């Protein structure tokens, strides 16, 4: 029976990734029909499209009461984006970091991550409560109020992005496929169906697999689900790095982290507030530390070098190993 659910998990991942691809193609082409600038499409539709798998999984998990998957998917995806996506790209070639990303997007990512840590578990961290209880015991929570704040912050961030793009337009090649309007709507509809269906399949199969192998939903969400839903960011960034567009890789990874934290956690907690267990507090603190380390790598020399990329990949492997050992111990 577990083999069937593993197959369902793979099918769910395929639905998420293919659905996001179709949604981006259809939405981008439709936006082009209405004369929306390409840079605006990239900052909004494409960025949201690559984060659609995480949104579908976390929302489905929140609706079904699988709170651990909803939160650990966001945490795990952000850790994967920072360490693996940027790490692998920088191993391929040195990754320069645009000064705008250093001054605007990295600080926003750090502030939002710190805000989530404090907003969900400040009392537990201050008192050290999360160190004194079992990893599955609840020590905090993501409230609907926090979710609404995150969504409001996301709207403000999006407005700033669009305003800045209009203020500083850049010349870029138009690579958006031209399609008739009816085909755009078909792509969007099929994409949404695949995203929603893939999200539900991923959550249900992940829950079953977690129970079957004796692992919690937290560890499954932090590893298997997070990696699966982050595949669009990984593929996009690696392709960009191989083509020499390494600056795009940084923007894609950091932007996805911001979207995950603000939009996805905001939507899922606004729909259904949920508790935070001690394991998730550990993971959020690890994410905060990783975010600071990545920023330090990026700000020194205005680039992430190959040696730093190797360190990042090794840290990710160590983090996954720690999470698994923590679970079995």
76 Cβ contact partners less than 8 Å away, ≥ 6 residues apart? 221, 222, 223, 225, 226, 227, 283
Would you say the pTM of this structure is higher than 0.75?
A: yes
Q: Is residue 275 within 8 Å of residue 140, measured between CB atoms? A: yes
Phi and psi at residue 172, to the nearest 5°: -145, 150
Residue-wise pLDDT for 55-94, tens only, equals 888 888 777 777 677 788 899 999 999 999 899 989 988 8
Model pLDDT, residue 319: 93
pLDDT band at 29 (very low <50, low <70, confident <90, very high): confident
Considering only residues 142 and 290, tell me which one the structure prediction assigns the higher pLDDT: 290
The mean pLDDT of 116-140, rounded to a whole number, is: 87
Residue-wise pLDDT for 284-326, tens only, equals 999 999 999 999 999 998 899 999 999 999 999 999 899 888 8
The mean pLDDT of 255-265, rounded to a whole number, is: 89
Q: CA 325 to CA 317: how far, in whole Å?
A: 12
In 3D space, the residue among 277, 220, 253, 232 whose CA is nearest the CA of residue 61 turns out to be 220
Model pLDDT, residue 295: 95
Model pLDDT, residue 168: 67
Q: CA 57 to CA 52: how far, in whole Å?
A: 9
CATH architecture of the domain with residue range 2-328: Up-down Bundle (1.20)
């Amino acid at each position: 029976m577990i083999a069937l659910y593993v197959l369902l998990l793979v099918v769910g991942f395929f639905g998420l990734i293919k659905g996001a691809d179709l949604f981006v193609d259809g939405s981008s082409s439709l936006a082009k029909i209405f004369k929306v600038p390409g840079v605006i499409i990239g900052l909004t539709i494409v960025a949201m499209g690559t984060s659609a798998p995480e949104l579908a999984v976390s929302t489905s998990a929140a609706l079904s009461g699988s709170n651990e998957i909803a939160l650990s998917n966001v945490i795990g995806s952000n850790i994967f984006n920072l360490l693996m996506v940027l790490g692998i790209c920088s191993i391929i070639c040195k990754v320069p970091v645009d000064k705008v990303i250093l001054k605007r997007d990295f600080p926003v990512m750090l502030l939002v991550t710190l805000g989530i840590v404090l907003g969900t578990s400040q009392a537990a961290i201050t008192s050290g409560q999360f160190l004194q209880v079992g990893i599955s015991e609840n020590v905090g929570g993501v409230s609907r109020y926090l979710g609404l704040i995150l969504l409001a912050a996301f709207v403000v961030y999006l407005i700033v992005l669009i305003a800045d793009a209009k203020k500083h337009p850049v010349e870029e090649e138009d690579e958006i496929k031209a399609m008739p309007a009816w085909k755009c709507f078909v792509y969007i509809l099929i994409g949404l169906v695949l995203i929603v269906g893939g999200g539900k399949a991923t959550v249900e199969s992940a829950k079953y697999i977690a129970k079957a192998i004796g692992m919690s939903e937290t560890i499954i969400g932090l590893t298997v689900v997070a990696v699966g839903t982050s595949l669009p960011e990984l593929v996009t960034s690696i392709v960009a790095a191989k083509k020499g567009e390494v600056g795009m890789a940084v923007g894609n990874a950091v932007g996805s982290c911001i979207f995950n934290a603000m939009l996805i956690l905001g939507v899922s907690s606004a729909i259904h507030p949920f508790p935070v267990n001690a394991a998730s507090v550990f993971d959020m603190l690890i994410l905060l530390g990783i975010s600071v380390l990545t920023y330090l790598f990026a700000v020194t020399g205005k680039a992430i070098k190959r040696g730093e990329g190797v360190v990042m990949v090794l840290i990710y492997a160590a983090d996954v190993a720690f999470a698994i050992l923590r679970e079995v111990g």
